[in-house]
Amino acid sequence: MNMSEYIHLWGKASVRVLDVRHIVMEAGESLSAYSMPAKCFIYVIRGNAQLKLDGQEHAAVPFYIIHSFKGMILNIPRLSEPFEYQIVFYKPFDMLSRSRERLGLLEKRNSYDIHYVLQPARPVFIKELFTDMHRSWISDDRLKGVIVQSLFLGLVYELLKQLEQEGTAVTVPDLTSQAIGYMDNHYMRPISVSSVADALDCSPRHLSRLFQKSGLGETPSDYLARLRLEKSGELLRDTSLTLQEIAVNVGYQDGYYFSRMFKKYTGVSPMEYRKEPFQMIQMKEKGPKMSFGRSEYSIAANKLRRYIDNNNHYYQDGGYTMNKSNVKKSTAIMLFISLSIFLAACGGASGTTVIHNSSHTAANGTEALASEGTARIIQHDLGETNVPESPERIVVLEQGFAQIVAALEVKPIGVADDNKPERFPKDTLEYIQGYTSVGTRSEPNLEVIRTLEPDLIIADTSRHSAIYEQLSEIAPTIVFKNDTADYAQSLAATEAIGEALGKGSETQVLIQEHQDGIEELRTQIDRNKTVLMITPDEEDGQSFQVRTSTSFHPSFLIEAGLQYALMDEDETNQLMTTEQLLAIDPNVMLILLNEDATSVIEAQADNPLWNSLAAVQNNNVHEVELATWSRQRSIVSLNQIMDEAADIF
């Protein structure tokens, strides 16, 4: 990217400061593998240190400024002297036209993700900006948000002016190596390809395309599976951890699922390997050669931490301790696993690429499809799955997905409706009527699903990951976020579901019509208003569950141009008291209520703290249906609330 384009992007961006941190490290301390949660400026105040960002070293001295972005890994080796610095995390919102194709949106957003360093031309002035930002951030001033935003924009102006005049070393990130570095550092957590893509601000599809273009010979899910099995092999050989403990230590929550994955990709069970690992190597080496070798991007220096994530206890033979000992790498086990894992890309000569995915096949499932050459590969949060060219017997386990299926004029044979079909939008329910209820979204009835003999199951990542293998034994299963999805993730899921249904072109029309509606909504709302969405907490009538910016509907409001009042990159909800609401004090509040719930506005009428809220004083508190504004998470439901949103905002 040239500097003029980067400056142009800033000129078209709306920015929100997420956090301002002041950090003091003492001599002898270090920082290991800290993953940046957002874009940021790092400013050195005092001391000298050798910082490493994604392996690139920086000799950090006072006044030194580094621009970093979400997903970069920061390491600070053991310090020889005190080191003091500030980090300002921020998030830009592209204000350019939003009617472009989804991939274009992602690429434009990633244009902010450049890595550069500089020494300020006016160091004293820059120091004052950082100092004032932190002082305002921790103050009780109700206008601190305005002050911090103005100081931050002043900082950006100074830095951009210097970059334009002098230029500096700018590094455009290699997202493939960023993704591999992220997986190498986080494989022990229950991450998926989708969460890796989220961490790097791109879509799973875009990330997979980058892997394909890189020449690595494997997909992101291939790499993650291989990495986890390499690490699990080390633990099987070098420790006496149970299978459940090993599973948790390499990112699997279920020991049974881990065992099946290990045997599926290596040909032997974990316990068989533990008994005779080197004999297993010899046995597997007699088989076909597999091109699943470790890539050039691998961070071989990263040692495996012997710990169980559940309780953060580090493991030693004979007991648990806080000793951070490392396990030595085993060349033999890496060779064994590298040779024995099946590549998910060994298709035949037909025009359709067939893969071995993590789904087990039902009698009418993937194997039959692959042999007939009638399957298409769909990437989803838990990997890649072969689905029929034109599936006809579809089971949907989340309400938002049912809305998408209905909008594409496909009737599911089974739906998880919580035994409350009346909660579906009327037009959706009218179209899908005649379906068989398969129980609740949280606990779908697997036996009922099995009797329906589906040829495709559409499931939710947060609700159904634990039963993914069981679902896959019934029929090809694809899994996406809905319960915890934000707006961008919902758009990506919509595209993938449309592709799985053989309705790619119809889906693009649906998305384009939706984006046209957003463009119209932007012309009808006041973008200067701050908004907050809350719902009364069921266990405590005096507290509220507050939706954060990463929730589905708030992230949509941000997309529409509104300023959401509670930014949080990690949690979708926060429990708050009225006092905490008053500290945020949004211009507009939406209260989400079930059909049979009592009015919060009436219940809080005599609460002086509630009445001090600006939204209450200006009659900008609106009670809206929880089903419409929370439970129904799809672009179809958003189309239905746009008129209401125009009236409110």
Q: Is pLDDT of 309 > 50? A: no
What confidence score (pLDDT) does residue 314 get? 29
Q: How far apart (Å, rounded) are the C-alpha atoms in residues 27 and 605?
A: 55
Please state which CATH class domain 176-340 belongs to: mainly alpha
**Mean pLDDT (whole number) for 374-396:** 88
| pLDDT greater than 60 at residue 344 | no
Number of helices and strands in the chain (H, E):
28, 28
Indicate if the pLDDT at residue 532 is higher than 60.
yes
User: Is 278's pLDDT higher than 70?
Assistant: no
* Residue 569 phi, psi dihedral angles, 5° rounding: -85, -10
Assign 3-state DSSP to the chain and report helix, strand, coil percentages, each to 5.
Answer: 40, 20, 35
Per-residue pLDDT tens digits for 311-328: 333 233 333 232 333 333
- Residue 517: band (very low, low, confident or very high) from pLDDT cuts 50, 70, 90: confident
Topology agreement, domain 3-171 and domain 530-648: no
Q: Are strands 588-593 and 530-536 parallel, antiparallel or unpaired?
A: parallel
Is the pLDDT at 408 greater than 80? The verdict is yes
Confidence band, pLDDT 50/70/90 cuts, at residue 145: confident
Residue 587 DSSP code: S
Report the range of poorest mean pLDDT among 82-96, 286-300, 408-422, 613-627.
286-300
CB 511 within 8 A of CB 569: no
**pLDDT at residue 332 is higher than 80:** no
pLDDT digits (tens, 9 = 90+) for 445-503: 999 999 999 999 999 998 999 999 999 999 999 999 988 888 888 888 999 999 999 88
Instruction: Report the alpha-carbon distance of residue 81 to residue 46 in Å, rounded.
Output: 10
Overall average pLDDT of the 184-201 stretch: 78
pLDDT level of residue 539 (50, 70, 90 thresholds): low
DSSP 8-state code for residue 630: I
Burial 409-439 (b: 16+ CB within 10 A, else e): ebebbbbbbbeeeebbbeebbebbeebebbb
User: Residue 235 in contact with residue 250, Cβ under 8 Å?
Assistant: yes
Q: Tokens in use for 429?
A: 């329910």
pLDDT at position 277: 60
What ranges do the domains of the chain cover?
Answer: 3-171, 176-340, 375-485, 530-648
Question: What are 540-563's pLDDT values in tens digits?
Answer: 567 899 999 888 889 889 888 888
> Which whole-number Å values give the CA distances from 94 to 14, 160, 335, 638, in the listed order?
7, 17, 46, 20
pLDDT classification of 272: cutoffs 50, 70, 90: confident
Question: How many C-beta atoms surround the C-beta of residue 322 within 10 A?
Answer: 9
358 vs 122: which has the higher pLDDT: 122
Closest CA to 216 of 187, 251, 175: 175
Name the fold adopted by 3-171.
Jelly Rolls (2.60.120)
Check: pTM over 0.85? Answer yes or no: no
The whole-angstrom separation of Cα 485 and Cα 339 is 37
- Decide: 377 and 385 in contact? Cβ < 8 Å: yes
Q: What is the CATH number of domain 375-485?
A: 3.40.50.1980
Helical residues (DSSP H) of 97-219, grouped into ranges: 102-110, 123-137, 144-166, 175-186, 193-199, 204-214
What is the pLDDT averaged over residues 231-252?
88
* 530-648: CATH class: alpha beta
Average pLDDT over residues 589-618: 90
Q: Which helix (H) or strand (E) holds 623?
A: strand 621-625
Confidence of residue 591 (pLDDT cuts 50, 70, 90): very high
**Mean predicted lDDT score pLDDT of the chain:** 77
Per-residue pLDDT band for 201 (boundaries 50, 70, 90) equals low
> In which residue are the tokens 């429990």 written?
575
More confident residue, 205 or 464: 464
